[in-house]
Structure 1
Amino acid sequence: MQILPFYAVCDESGSMAGPDGVGTINSALPDLHHEISTNPSVADKIRFALIGFSTQASVLQPLADLSELTQLPSLSAGGVTSFGAVFQLLKDTIEKDVAALKAEGHDVYRPVVFFLSDGIPTDEGWRATLADLNGFRYAPKIIAFGINDADEATITEVANFKAFLQTGEAISPAMALREFASSLTRSIVNSATSMAAQGGEGFQLQVDEQVPGFTSLSLDKL
């Protein structure tokens, strides 16, 4: 089969505590699960993983066919914001996951990461770890979302495909998080539908050009 791995990577630092933070993501995850798992043409082509990070990073839901899961785990907030920890975990996890899928005989597309943070990294060595992630053979396409106090320059540096920043105070953090989850769901569904329509030939990742409540950031870097 042709498989497209998606990784949702969510900030679980202390600033994400409460119903307007991780609580909003947790309430949106069942909708994402239902939308994908009940559509066989989508579930067959997508594998999904959930990763949380704060002081440390952890794989909350290993890469899986969502139609084989009854529910997704929840995020919980606490600690600081270590980008380096999650970039290292992503590299290690993607390498193992892609190797396992290939060993099962699947054709695997380049993984896609939806990265969400509401602040700035508290560790100093994260850029070197990000460079390692972008430099290895299964380097993912990264779509980065920043909310609350996230820094525009940092979000564009993390992204290598698309970047979005919450539009000031025009939208609440909770609404921004719901739009993040909706964009993730739409991207998964539309990408799988495109794969089916193209038979895997000439497939293009389908990601929103604009997300309500977010400004699209330019990734043109010099």
Structure 2
Amino acid sequence: MADDRRATEDNRTLVLAFYVVVDVSQSMEVTGAIYSANEILPKVADAIDSSPMLADIVRFGAIDFSDDARVVLRLGDLRNVPTLPKFTARGRTSYAAAFRLLRQEIEKDVTQLRSDNFRVYRPAVFIITDGEPTDDDHELKTAYEELTDPRFQARPNILLFGVGNATKEALDPWVFPKTGNKSMRSYVARAGADPKTAITRAAEALLGSIVASAASVSEVGESGGFVPPDDEDLDDWI
């Protein structure tokens, strides 16, 4: 019976889940960074719409965060979204709120995908922010540990992109995993880089990662999975 169950699992369609998580604190509007962030969803949607390979494999969702966090776009097939939402500015910068909502949404989304007869790789999360967290240290650490708990099978790969006042010292503690062959990292725009331009480049790197990840599944069947951005695509970042 175990062999029958494994055979059924192996025959399920493979999908990759991507989440973009955008800081929508007021400072993102002041610098204009949020307007560049609003270009991300249309770019991904256009790429998926024009590529059957991406459309079959990629599921995409969006979350914003400030004092709280909200689902902007439920994870799914972007071909089924008639009107793409936009990010709007509000509040301050709570990483903890983003981590807590990600834990809830990923658990729910992966369960739904599996019930729909998909096999799901561990999700990839791209966080875009222009500042340091404003959370209580204990609250922030607890939320991060719950999201990356080894007992949570769908714990995501987490990369962070910082513009404006964001620093690597502030972002590095929240990447995941931090070690191993598939360790993730943070990226911070070089000093003096325009936040709007930097986020546009980050969006291009995100799209490149999605395409490479989908190709890895398409070419080799059951292996493959998430492919992080190529550092060569981020020459304005450190």
Scaled by the length of structure 2, the TM-score of the pair is 0.86
After the TM superposition, list the runs of 4 or more consecutive aligned residues in structure 1 that deviate by more than 4 angstroms: none
Partner of 2:145: 131
Alpha-carbon distance change, 212 to 20 in structure 1, aligned in 2, over 3 angstroms: farther
Partner of 1:62: 74
Letter in 1 for 2:142: A
Deviation at 1:204?
A: 4.2
Deviation at 1:71?
A: 3.7
Query: Number of matched residues?
Result: 213
Matches of 2:14 and 2:76, distance apart in 1: 14
Letter in 2 for 1:168: A
Q: Does 1:142 align with 2:158?
A: yes
Matches of 2:97 and 2:40, distance apart in 1: 25
Deviation at 1:213?
A: 1.1
Q: Does 1:165 align with 2:181?
A: no
Instruction: Please identify, of 81-90 and 154-163, the stretch whose mean Cα deviation from structure 2 is larger.
Output: 154-163
Alpha-carbon distance change, 45 to 204 in structure 1, aligned in 2, over 3 angstroms: closer
Matches of 1:131 and 1:65, distance apart in 2: 29
Instruction: Provide Cα deviations, 1:118-146, integer angstroms capped at 9, x if missing partner.
Output: 00111112111001100022110001111
Instruction: Provide Cα deviations, 1:25-79, integer angstroms capped at 9, x if missing partner.
Output: 1134322210122211111101000100001100000001112223421001110
Partner of 1:74: 86
Instruction: Please identify, of 97-106 and 30-39, the stretch whose mean Cα deviation from structure 2 is larger.
Output: 30-39
Q: Does 1:95 align with 2:107?
A: yes
Unaligned 5+ segments in structure 1 are 216-222
Instruction: Please identify, of 34-43 and 81-90, the stretch whose mean Cα deviation from structure 2 is larger.
Output: 34-43
Partner of 1:219: none
Q: Does 1:208 align with 2:229?
A: yes
Scaled by the length of structure 1, the TM-score of the pair is 0.92
Question: Which of 91, 98, 109 is matched with 2:121 structurally?
Answer: 109
Matches of 1:18 and 1:64, distance apart in 2: 31
Partner of 1:218: none
* Contact 1:6–1:113 (8 Å) recurs in 2: yes
Q: Does 1:152 align with 2:168?
A: yes
- Where 1:2 maps in the other structure, the secondary structure is strand
Instruction: Provide Cα deviations, 1:145-165, integer angstroms capped at 9, x if missing partner.
Output: 111111212211111212111
Question: Which of 210, 214, 218 is matched with 1:188 structurally?
Answer: 210
* Contact 1:33–1:71 (8 Å) recurs in 2: no
Cα RMSD, aligned residues only: 1.3
Unaligned 5+ segments in structure 2 are 1-12, 177-183
Letter in 1 for 2:19: Y
- Where 1:212 maps in the other structure, the secondary structure is coil
Instruction: Provide Cα deviations, 1:71-121, integer angstroms capped at 9, x if missing partner.
Output: 421001110101111100000000000000111111110010001110011
Letter in 1 for 2:42: P
